[in-house]
Amino acid sequence: MIQLTGIVSERDFKDQILDSMDIERERGITIKSQTVSLPYTAEDGREYLLNLIDTPGHVDFSYEVSRALASCEGAFILVDASQGVEAQTLANLYMAMGHDLAIIPVINKIDLPSAEIDLVKDQIDEDLGLDSETALLVSAKTGQGVEKVFESAVKLIPPPTGDAEAPFQGLIFDSHYDSYRGTIVHIRVFQGTVQKGDRILFLSNNATYKVEEVGLFQIVRKPMEELQAGQVGYLIAGIKMISDVKCGDTVTLASRPCELPMPGFREPNPVVFSSMYPVASDDYEELSEALEKLKLNDASLIFEKDASAALGFGYRCGFLGLLHLEVVQERLEREYDISLILTSPSVQYEITGKDGEVKIIDNPSHYPDPAEIEKTREPFIKASIIIPDKYMGAVMQVCLEHRGVSTNYQYLTSNRIEMKFELPLAEVVYEFYDRLKSVTQGYGSFDYEIAGYQDTDLVKLDFLVNGERVDALSQLVHREKAVERARHACKQLREEIPRQMFKIAIQGAIGGKIISRETVSAYRKDVTAKCYGGDISRKRKLLEKQKKGKKRMKMVGNVEIPQSAFLSVLKSGK
């Protein structure tokens, strides 16, 4: 679509042009929604400006999708001609229906030898409940059928409503930080106009700024005279205070404000929690600034201050899933050049004390004394997994290993099956998605929703290195899994912790009970090398002397734990 409208010259064009982050191009996934305005001349000669938002597909970034849909009038739902309808396609369709959008199905990749167009049309009818006769057949690679996508956008998607003469009212749906221009705000204008020189007002905090530049996104920023009702673009106003800009806030003119703010977006609910600490404690201020800037561009990231005896000051962060956690970590390391240590990811547990008080905790260091706990409950999810039926046994086994319970399954077509499971969220966080993809050879698709809390038997698993508890390695786990998880983590730590001149014991413990142990053996100098021949007591004396020295060294010996050790504990190795 971008090539057909000619907003980028052939010389500057490259594949995945909207996936501008290195991390997106390397992993082959979309992480951020990207906006682009496409000028289009229709068959009847009329000129249109089409505002396109390209959204991610992975379940961890569904918040990006919900924000994009709130800014739109219609949606194209893409279905792969060889893979068919996936679990996430269904989830995003229901989200678009919730916003009451015009929905047009598009079957892509029809040029593939493995494309099964008739089968996919049946799936669109049965799974999605859309009319497959209206589905557009497209090959984005060869360009076949893309012209029809433009025509159907013009004919079937309603134009935006809004009065250019009314008081200015714009919705902030995203923003990012530019080190030269300050915060750049992405807005959708619902009413009125805004132009250079206007004084704007943010309704959530009454901050006012003078507009320096407005314009459209056409891969690069294209300055314009003004933005009118219905347009999607950006606004630069020299905003230095990052905290003034909030996603979902309403912008208006200070001289002529609108009456009511826009409804905005619902707050994201983080499901995975982990603490981040800078490797060098002097980088704490830089980490604070970097998180503030990243929050502009990733509204689903939540963080608060945290401290650890082993690692100093850091932040406790909330994420929408494990992939989201990895992406945030990589972006902080690449874009802001900060080396980080992350603690074991955890979910929110509900703990009822003997006194009847209910606490929500997500940090193992806040876990109360087991004697004071009446019961613990953990979050469960309803998972929907769509797979070819030949993988049914393998998927069933993976789910049972992760304490899942099968609730239902049904055939969607003759060889595709949808399986529904109830699983503890804590198990899904721990490499479940990777296992599922590998046992289904990439054909499995997975989507989930939170299904409330259920009773569980929880224990706090601590790790001791050389007899000292390392609070950053502590985990909250189900009692059945504790021994397996402790043994595995001790083995991983043994590989990572460097050898010293004395033995280092690595132990996994629940309370005062040790349940696993590994030992990093000591370097040993051969003190008897110079004693060739002679009485045995001479050698024994030297060995005893060495033993005393090692004992003394162990009393003062501090073990440094490398950064890689904290990460190795999270990998299951399966």
Q: Binding site for GTP, residues?
A: 108-111
The answer to whether 61 and 324 have CB atoms below 8 angstroms apart is: yes
At position 405, the amino acid (one-letter code) is V
Residues annotated in the binding site, as ranges? 108-111
Q: Is the dihedral of CA 421, 424, 427, 431 positive or negative?
A: positive
| Exposed e or buried b per residue across 4-29, where buried means at least 16 C-beta atoms within 10 angstroms of its C-beta | ebebbeeeeeeeeebbebebbeebeb
d(C-alpha 62, C-alpha 55), whole Å: 9
Cβ 479 vs Cβ 370: under 8 Å: no
Q: Which of 294, 286, 345 is nearest to 313 (CA)?
A: 286
Q: How far is CA 96 from CA 67, 74, 318, 332, in A?
A: 11, 8, 26, 32
Four-point Cα dihedral 355, 360, 363, 366, nearest 10: -20
Rounded CA-CA distance 56/63 in Å is 10
Beta bridge partners of 308: 312
- Cβ contacts of residue 209 below 8 Å, gap of 6+? 199, 200, 237, 238, 239
